[in-house]
Structure 1
Amino acid sequence: MPTQTHTESPRSAPVTLRVVPRDQHPISRKDISPNALRVLYRLREGGHQAFLVGGAVRDLMVGGHPKDFDVATSATPEEVKHLFRNCRLIGRRFRLAHVVFGREIIEVATFRANSDDGSGDRQVHDDGRLLRDNVYGTIEDDAVRRDFTANALYYTIDDFSVHDYVGGFEDVQNKVLRLIGDPETRYHEDPVRMLRVVRFAAKLGFSIDEATAAPVPALAPLLADAAPARLFEECLKLFLSGYAEESFLGLERFGLLAVLFPESASALKSNRSGALRRVVIEGLRGTDARVRADEPVSPAFLFALLLWPAYCRALIALQAQGVHAVEAQRRAADRVTVHQLSTIALPRRFSLPMQEIWLLQSRLSSAQSGPRPRKRVMRTLAHPRFRAAFDFLALRQVASDEHAEDIAFWRDAQSDPDNAIAVHPEVEGEGGEEHAAPRRRRRRRRPAASTQ
């Protein structure tokens, strides 16, 4: 039977240690990164406590295959660095040690405490957000300051048991996601936890504990205070891990989408036909399929999809004001991008290709761009963003069949442009470059003879 002991946490609440022996849990060393095991053994040999912790333990418990392995230890970052020559210390908000093995990094964190007696390094904002948290403590302290019970399981190489201080073992077995401590307090400490609730529930297929879920809609606006760069990283985790559709639905359900993507959320709400939402959902399904097939997914395409409703709405508004179509497209793309940057720090290496995907949509449409002479077709095919723009056009067909002829033409043109133009004569028509009257060449005048 698992052994249990009771201690007091820094929050003056009882913490129950449950030790789950090897024969009562599914975690095996053969499923753990050899480099993570090296770190655990080296720390133990150095006289320190060391445990595999967090998402890796949780995922191994449910039969997953974690890519990242984190270690929690009693050793300070400086002591970890002393033990590993391949170690670098990072972070100001949370001081961490990264032990580098080629392309794999094992993250090592010192046990942290919740209360600060003045000897640590902690800074709390007036609104309750933790700005810096480098106060070290015991493993019991560390367990209660983690976010979810499912992430507070510790695997030890001493006897290959799992140590559980907050009921995480049972919650993982029951597939329940539960915050440790008072949810409102924990969300105020770090509003990004609300995104993590949605992400883990989508990834793991867990239900969300009622007390954990209840405060989220009311506290969602707190996300506006989170660092835009951090929100960008969280969005990549939400939408590029193979659970994009479920993550999107969770964000909608808890009112978080309106904070992360305010203009898109507003456009989706006002689009009565639901066409824009169908495009987004279908695109996210495609993203999930590509991730599962281990195919590359571009953040530029992802954000082009998520901000497409906002772009469409801005474009319609500008055209209603009488702005010329081409100028309206450019201004709409710039406006949506600039507004979004105040919430999510989308790097230019992604925002510029995102805009190109949008702007190419009109060039791919015969209704908007007019005739398609061969020169124009070849220039479009040579555009570095053509393939992404074509995939985006094909995706838009889920909302309307009006793009079918354009999709058929550009699909054929990729393999044989001349045949595509012949098979689709309607795309060329009169007035194109190929049908224009030949321009007369201007005779170049000979330079006048020098008078010098």
Structure 2
Amino acid sequence: MISPGTLKTLYTLKEAGYEAYMVGGGVRDLLAGITPKDFDVATNAHPEQVKKLFRACRLVGRRFVICHVRFGQEVLEVTTFRGAITDMHQRDETGRVLVDNDYGTLEEDAFRRDFTVNALYYDIRDFSIVDYCGGLEDLKAGTLRLIGDPELRYREDPVRMLRAIRIANKLHFRLDPATAAPIGRLSALLAEIPAARLFDEVLKVLLCREGVDNLYGLRVYGLFRHLFPATEALLGEAAQLAFLNDALRNSAERIEQDLPVSPAFLYAALLWAPTERRARQLQDKEGHPEHLAMEQAGEEVIARACARVAIPKRFALPMREIWSMQARLTQRSPARARRLMTHPRFRAAYDFLLLRARNGDPALMELADWWTRAQADRELPPLPSSAADQSEGPDAATDEARAADEPGKRRRRRRRGGRRTGGEAAPAG
């Protein structure tokens, strides 16, 4: 079950005279009976020495240099043994280590790992497990325990609080009481983590099979409010919490079936409650039309959210399209509906509507059923009387006019580089 790239990396380092071990989540998951998603390698070779051995190797990282070794689609993280943390290491005012390029021994590296079950090393020389921190014992006991003083370790890297929730639920372990105790008190330290890094960490903790359990854990320990404060303020409403849990379950089911999942859809669900609330305020207090209110609300909510968790534009744009299409899905004239079903974001918007219908206004269920039948039937289902009388939006008349055009009639397309006045031919190119 160890990937070919991992084995090739281990044996290449060994044959070059270096120590090399598989370490971390890959070893932990194999011993726990879980298929690993990725593998890490630890070695006494320095980054420049690793780079000389592998043609497709890239050095990344500022605080600690990591080697990314690529084999086709597989990318391995190869790290040099880290030395012990001392008072000489540069830290910020919260205790977070800023520079950490000191190398050490295998034993020192083990005690630098975060959790005991992540400090297990597989030695290819004799196919043994090396354990300095009691990880095997905790693995058998089903306990997730931090190595060292929990408060100090969280201050060194506050992301460990998120990892504690995620790994405990993934392994179905209990958090060691001493490991769990400081989390609520130190949760505000997440503000010290770069927003771009938190984007990736949120995906790991929520876009997975245990997303619902992880959301519960984040809220119990006070972490979620430091990631998405606007959403947390509205999750006291039963419908909003049910909607978000349903979205996480939907993603978990798709992961279980090896279907693709979208970060844009996850973040659209995470920020839907404050977006919907702001859109209603713009409609009620400032008289904005529904579609314009949703567009402005989406811009405002995403901008505020990015101060905590940076959302790349390649995901922010689809999020806004999913939200704005919720209003367009209420407009069911035949021509408009046919065109809307060709939109590249239609399926995501439709799935989003289904989630809203299951956890919100019962009237949305009739709308969702209509769109379900519209996709299944060759002919669009008839409009209910209430929908037939509703406003179709500013461009509905244009849609109907286009639908009434003669089937074979096309607009004449102007030729590229067409005629010039005076009969002169257009110059080539």
Counterpart pick for 2:315 among 350, 358, 362: 350
The letter of the residue matching 2:69 is V
> 2:64 maps to what in 1?
94
Aligned pair in 2 of structure 1 residues 437, 340: CA closer, same or farther (>3 Å)?
A: closer
Counterpart pick for 1:74 among 44, 49, 66: 44
Q: Is 2:79 the counterpart of 1:109?
A: yes
Q: Is 2:323 the counterpart of 1:323?
A: no
Contact kept? 1:374, 1:421, Cα under 8 Å:
no
> 1:333 maps to what in 2?
298
Runs of 4+ in 1 over 6 A off after TM superposition: 434-439
How far does the alpha carbon of each residue in 1:127-184 deviate from its partner, in whole angstroms, 9 at most, with x for none? 2112221110011110111100010001101211111111111111111111111111
Counterpart pick for 1:85 among 46, 55, 60: 55
Aligned pair in 2 of structure 1 residues 103, 213: CA closer, same or farther (>3 Å)?
A: same
Size of the aligned set, in residue pairs, is 397
> 1:409 maps to what in 2?
370
> 1:144 maps to what in 2?
111
The Cα of 1:258 is off from its aligned counterpart by 0.4
How far apart, in 2, do the equivalents of 1:343 and 1:38 lie?
A: 40
> 1:11 maps to what in 2?
none
How far does the alpha carbon of each residue in 1:365-422 deviate from its partner, in whole angstroms, 9 at most, with x for none? 3xxx5xx322222232222211111111111122232212111111122233644136
Counterpart pick for 1:233 among 194, 200, 224: 200
Q: Is 2:251 the counterpart of 1:284?
A: no
How far apart, in 1, do the equivalents of 2:101 and 2:325 lie?
A: 49
Q: Is 2:373 the counterpart of 1:397?
A: no
The letter of the residue matching 1:390 is Y
The Cα of 1:317 is off from its aligned counterpart by 3.1
> 1:359 maps to what in 2?
324
How far apart, in 1, do the equivalents of 2:390 and 2:27 lie?
A: 67
How far apart, in 1, do the equivalents of 2:109 and 2:23 lie?
A: 11
Aligned pair in 2 of structure 1 residues 436, 308: CA closer, same or farther (>3 Å)?
A: closer
> 1:446 maps to what in 2?
none
Q: Is 2:31 the counterpart of 1:61?
A: yes
> 1:52 maps to what in 2?
22
The letter of the residue matching 1:61 is L
In the TM superposition, 1:6-17 aligns within 5 A as none
Aligned pair in 2 of structure 1 residues 438, 132: CA closer, same or farther (>3 Å)?
A: closer
> 2:94 maps to what in 1?
127
Aligned pair in 2 of structure 1 residues 437, 114: CA closer, same or farther (>3 Å)?
A: closer
> 1:254 maps to what in 2?
221
> 2:382 maps to what in 1?
421
Aligned pair in 2 of structure 1 residues 263, 375: CA closer, same or farther (>3 Å)?
A: same
Contact kept? 1:116, 1:135, Cα under 8 Å:
no
Contact kept? 2:81, 2:103, Cα under 8 Å:
yes
Where does structure 2 lack aligned partners over 5 or more consecutive residues?
403-429
Which moves more between the two structures, 356-365 or 84-93?
84-93
> 2:424 maps to what in 1?
none
Contact kept? 2:21, 2:124, Cα under 8 Å:
yes
How far apart, in 1, do the equivalents of 2:131 and 2:309 lie?
A: 36
Counterpart pick for 1:153 among 120, 124, 141: 120
Q: Is 2:143 the counterpart of 1:183?
A: no
> 1:378 maps to what in 2?
338
How far apart, in 2, do the equivalents of 1:278 and 1:213 lie?
A: 26
SS of corresponding position for 2:95? coil
Using the size of structure 1 for normalisation, the TM-score is 0.83
How far does the alpha carbon of each residue in 1:190-209 deviate from its partner, in whole angstroms, 9 at most, with x for none? 11111111111121111101
Q: Is 2:263 the counterpart of 1:299?
A: yes
Identity %: 48
> 1:19 maps to what in 2?
none
SS of corresponding position for 1:155? strand
The letter of the residue matching 1:172 is L
Contact kept? 1:267, 1:313, Cα under 8 Å:
no
SS of corresponding position for 1:421? coil
